[in-house]
Amino acid sequence: MTAEDVIKDLHFYVDKKKAEFLPRFFKTGKGEYGEGDVFIGVVVPNQRIVAKKYKELSLSEVQKLLNSKIHEQRLTALLILTYKFPKTDERIKKEIVEFYLKNTDRINNWDLIDLSSVEILGSYILEHPEYTKILYKFSGSKNLWERRISIIATFELIRHKQFTDPLNIAKVLLQDREDLIQKAVGWMLREIGKRDLQAEERFLQKHYQTMPRTMLRYAIEKFPENKRKYYMTK
């Protein structure tokens, strides 16, 4: 199995209409968050088919895919890691996590993060809490994508009703000016609320008057209308 084999299989699924649409959807224009990213038009379900086929691909070959300028090749590389990760032993899991952390400059769009950070970094942190310090480090990063990783990866902790670190990181990111961070923080707050509404509301009561409106709207999206109005009009 080689990176070239993966690339060949991906090209089988190329859709020209998607190749025209995806650059606009992922904001690849000058000055936009995905500036310069290149798409060939392969949708995620088809990338998953390819990734499952090549889940035994070596990390050195995965690296070749991650180094690509083509978005779908980088995402497929990350999907391969998500399929490889739960099926392997502790030594290899640590190797995959370290590999992931070494390549954050290549995990450079929101879908790449959202489809990989929970399954890899979040899952590892759940079993190895000492790695939580990485999330705090990333939350203060100048790199937009590392900041998004810092909050999205906490979804695995939230799933297991461990809210302390997600809420602390949300607080660090509270005044982040990037729309993609505001949405991510609001999303994770909403997920906390699904499991413990009081925990989310304790956080909101402290911060809703100063947090960005986009973040707040995402956080209260599932609230009853009267409660949404309460938070949005105060």
Cα–Cα distance, 226 to 234 (Å, whole number): 12
pLDDT digits over 155-191, tens only?
A: 999 999 999 999 999 999 999 999 999 999 999 999 9
How many percent of the chain have pLDDT more than 70? 100
Q: What pLDDT shows up at residue 32?
A: 85
Structural fold of domain 117-234: Leucine-rich Repeat Variant (1.25.10)
Q: Do residues 33 and 180 make contact, with C-beta atoms less than 8 angstroms apart?
A: yes
Tokens in use for 68? 């690509």
Q: Do residues 112 and 79 make contact, with C-beta atoms less than 8 angstroms apart?
A: no
What's this model's pTM, rounded to 2 decimal places? 0.91
pLDDT digits over 10-63, tens only?
A: 999 999 999 999 999 888 988 888 888 999 999 999 999 999 999 999 999 999
- Per-residue pLDDT at 5 exceeds 70: yes
Q: Do residues 112 and 82 make contact, with C-beta atoms less than 8 angstroms apart?
A: no
The architecture of the domain spanning 1-89 is: Alpha Horseshoe (1.25)
Helix axes 164-172, 144-152, angle to 10 degrees: 150
Residues whose CB is less than 8 angstroms from the CB of residue 216 and which lie 6 or more positions away in sequence, other chains included: 186, 204, 208, 231, 232
List C-alpha distances in Å: 227 to 96, 196, 218, 224, 230. 43, 16, 14, 5, 5
Cα–Cα distance, 144 to 156 (Å, whole number): 21
Residue type, 84: K
pLDDT band for position 234 (cuts 50, 70, 90) = low
> What are the domain boundaries of the chain?
1-89, 117-234
Domains 1-89 and 117-234 share a fold: yes
**What is the number of helices (H) and of strands (E) in the chain?**
16, 0
